[in-house]
């Protein structure tokens, strides 16, 4: 079985072995109820250097093992809404309109079987 990745073409077992620490972090966080993780969380909870972590995340995104979701945070009620390119966003919880200042990237482990 091979991981769908046009750049590498490595076997499933080698893929899991290469990304074991980051995958284990996602699995551990999932057991605690955290489905989506941010980069700061991954930097804090792994022993992977920053540049290597970015490269691993890129490879995992490319192989459809991780899914990226960009969110903006409402300053009034701290609700997370899907990020859109508009200058102003309407909160889905409190219905107030706010300017999108920050975009938070969240990653979700969706596929570790390489299919």
* Domains of the chain, first to last: 12-70+105-109 (1.10.10)
DSSP tag of 63: T
Render pLDDT for 52-108 as a digit per residue (tens, 0 to 9): 999 999 999 998 999 999 999 999 999 999 998 888 889 999 999 999 888 899 999
Three-state secondary-structure class, residue 97? strand
Beta bridge partners of 97: 90
1-7 average pLDDT score: 47
Count of Cβ atoms closer than 10 Å to residue 40 Cβ:
9
What pTM was estimated for this model as a whole? 0.78
From residue 100, alpha-carbon distances to 26, 71, 84, 90, 103 in Å are 28, 10, 9, 10, 7
Render pLDDT for 17-65 as a digit per residue (tens, 0 to 9): 888 999 999 999 999 999 999 999 999 999 999 999 999 999 999 989 9
d(CA 27, CA 20): 10
């Amino acid at each position: 079985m091979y991981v769908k990745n046009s750049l590498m073409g490595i076997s499933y077992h080698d893929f899991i072995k290469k990304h074991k620490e980051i995958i284990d972090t996602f699995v551990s966080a999932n057991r605690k109820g955290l489905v989506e993780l941010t980069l700061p969380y991954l930097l804090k909870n792994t022993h992977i250097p920053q540049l290597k972590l970015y490269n691993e995340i890129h490879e995992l995104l490319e192989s459809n093992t991780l899914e990226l979701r960009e969110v903006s945070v409402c300053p009034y009620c701290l609700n997370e809404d899907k990020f859109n390119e508009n200058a102003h966003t309407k909160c889905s919880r409190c219905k107030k309109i706010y300017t999108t200042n920050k975009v938070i990237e969240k990653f979700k482990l969706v596929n570790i079987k390489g299919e």
